[in-house]
Amino acid sequence: MTSYFQHRSVAELTLASPEWLQEKNVQLIFARARCIKREQRRVVYEGPNTTGEIEYDELVLATGSSPFVPPVPGLKPSLPGVFLYRTIEDMDGIIARAACAGKRAAVIGGGLLGLEAAKALMDLRMEVSVLEAAPILMSAQLDFVGGPGRSGTCARQGCRVAGSLLEKRLAKLGLQVFTGVELQEVLGNDAGVRYVKLLRNGEETFLEMDLLVVSCGIRPRDELAREVGLELGERGGVKVDSCLRSSDPHIYAVGEVAAYEGGLVYGLWKPGAEQAEVLAAVLGSPVSSPGSARYHGSDLSTKLKLLGVNVACFGANAEFWKNRIFDFQDGQANICVTTALDAASFRYRKLIFRRLPCGSRRLIGGILVESVEDYPFLCDLARCGRELWGLEPVVMTHGPSANPGMIEEQVYPTLRAPKSLAELYAPKRVVIVGYGPIGHAVIQNLVEQERAVAITVICEEPRAAYNRVAMTSYFQHRSVAELTLASPEWLQEKNVQLIFAKASCIQRDQRRVVYKGPTTAGEIEYDELVLATGSSPFVPPVPGLQPSAGVFLYRTIEDMDAIIARAKGRRKAAVIGGGLLGLEAA
């Protein structure tokens, strides 16, 4: 919505036209839902031009959230010059006020949305101050606790230094920042807001202003649910299950009003969109076959650029976000925290590991400022849960641009040698056992990913993947090339190594696959192993029925060649099996 300050076009932001709604048979009622009659399955609504009730089979609450307004004397949106930052009407009001009032503005709230609002006000050529109660800006991204981790001074000062650098960076853009402040009162007159009374470091300050924007977070709009006794979440919102269903089997909730399993209420677009997709699948399924779509929480990992600053945060799972593990100190709950800070280039990294009994660590999340080049790699590492040894954690903390010779950290006792920086950021080794159409589909998707991978395929058949679905056409064209899915040139270009051999065993502890073929034998290590071994044809246990002269399976190109050769000079044949494949063979 901040882009509205540039284009000022409602059409640019509108998600659905009246024509689209009509085409999709969507009726739109401009009114407020007053109450829900659960027993009668009705919603009572009232608007400027319409009132009434509407029956439902299923009801979805997508009421979103309301902006939180701190309980500060004199702070109320009804005071001229005080605005929320939520709707197009808010934007229009801010633009109009900026055009006719003075040029001094302030934003209450130093989070992502607050800084977006500050940037928008600066674009309106106003002198802007940001007022934040926390000691730093962007406290959700630049964590509050910079515990005494293994990186010494960086960890002890931690985010306080990073937050200070962010303030200095924004100051260069002309933005005045007040952190760690307590708002005591908002003063105004008939013309509107005039002053904000602050308490900072024990001293009172009066900040003069003409426009004040409130961006202090949100609260779920769960009033309708409360009134009818639906179960709520720990921090508000409607408690929902994996189908987004509330405690009433005919009422659902999505978005900023939904508290998944009674816990976290996601205040972001991406989780809401994921919930909407699942709910549409649930509601669109037949009653007799409810479908398999389920919601299991959202990953809040994100990378963005705000006011010219690159910021990224990532976590291994929903528990990481729910418990704010990025706020934990080193040593707390088997957590290890490492940080690295380059004040000159404003590069800050904080990685959170879990200590394992065997002496290794597992990456579970982190915060990156400016040093975001390896964000996809770190996200992937946190999700897969690979154990890290030796210098790996501290090397990752300093990032791919660090000089490994300058990194010092105690090495854990381990049988494995510490990895170098080059080894650490080497492509992930993916071994695929089996090279049929599905194995090839995995390769096609893997090579398109942002993370570099080195793929090795162990193929038991004597040729690369081919299209088994179209294999019956081989009887017409008899061309292997017509069925082949990948040329040797394509495999080489995509850095895919093909080994024609049979995988004889997997050594899980060493992460190795042992293979043996007609001309080759050996072992290969993997970071991730994919089994795409497919299936074998079923041969009924009938006496005398075994693949031999004149008896064939219908599976490979070699089977086709053998059938063609056998058919020469012969007239009678039989197929055991009357399914699709059997009829194709016939």
Distance, CA of 556 to CA of 435 (rounded, Å): 12
Over pLDDT 90: what percentage of the chain? 46
Cβ partners under 8 Å of residue 87, min gap 6: none
Using CB atoms within 10 Å of the CB of residue 252, give its burial: 0 to 12 exposed, 13 to 18 middle, 19+ buried.
Answer: buried
**Positive/negative CA dihedral, 158, 164, 165, 167:** positive
Whether 572 maps to a domain, the answer reads yes
Whether 581 maps to a domain, the answer reads yes
Distance, CA of 482 to CA of 452 (rounded, Å): 30
Structure tokens at 209: 């202003």
Whether 335 maps to a domain, the answer reads yes
Over pLDDT 70: what percentage of the chain? 86
User: What are the φ/ψ torsions at residue 443 (nearest 5 degrees)?
Assistant: -60, -45
Number of domains in the chain: 3
544, 527: one domain: no
Q: Does 257 have pLDDT greater than 90?
A: yes
HSE (side-chain half, CA atoms, 13 Å) at 353: 23
Distance, CA of 213 to CA of 351 (rounded, Å): 34
Whether 373 maps to a domain, the answer reads yes
394, 496: one domain: no
486: domain range? 428-531
Give the pLDDT band (50/70/90) at residue 149.
Answer: very low
Tens digit of each residue's pLDDT (9 = 90 or more) over 189-207: 988 999 999 998 889 999 9
Whether 438 maps to a domain, the answer reads yes
Helix (H, G, I), strand (E, B) or coil at 106: strand
Whether 471 maps to a domain, the answer reads yes
- The three-point CA angle 37-39-41 to 5° equals 60
Predicted local distance difference test score (pLDDT) of residue 418: 41
Q: What is the identity of the amino acid at 183?
A: L
333, 374: one domain: yes
Q: Does 161 have pLDDT greater than 70?
A: no
Predicted local distance difference test score (pLDDT) of residue 410: 36
Distance, CA of 98 to CA of 410 (rounded, Å): 57
Predicted local distance difference test score (pLDDT) of residue 289: 64
559, 527: one domain: no
Predicted local distance difference test score (pLDDT) of residue 285: 82
Predicted local distance difference test score (pLDDT) of residue 515: 96
Predicted local distance difference test score (pLDDT) of residue 425: 58
Structure tokens at 199: 């308490």
Q: Does 564 have pLDDT greater than 70?
A: yes
Mean pLDDT (the chain) is 85
Q: What is the DSSP string of 78-96?
A: TSTTEEESSSHHHHHHHHH
520, 434: one domain: yes
User: Of 178, 7, 202, 203, which Cα lies nearest the Cα of 107?
Assistant: 178
515, 545: one domain: no
CATH number at residue 518: 3.50.50.60
Predicted local distance difference test score (pLDDT) of residue 148: 30
- 10 Å Cβ neighbour count for 506? 15
Tens digit of each residue's pLDDT (9 = 90 or more) over 30-41: 999 999 999 999
306, 415: one domain: yes
Task: Using the 3D structure, point to which of 531, 550, 569 is the last residue of a domain.
Answer: 531
Answering whether pTM is above 0.75, one says no
Whether 235 maps to a domain, the answer reads no
Predicted local distance difference test score (pLDDT) of residue 407: 45
CATH number at residue 353: 3.30.390
Q: Does 450 have pLDDT greater than 70?
A: no
Q: Does 331 have pLDDT greater than 90?
A: no
Mean pLDDT along residues 47-53: 94
Tens digit of each residue's pLDDT (9 = 90 or more) over 378-396: 888 888 877 776 666 767 7
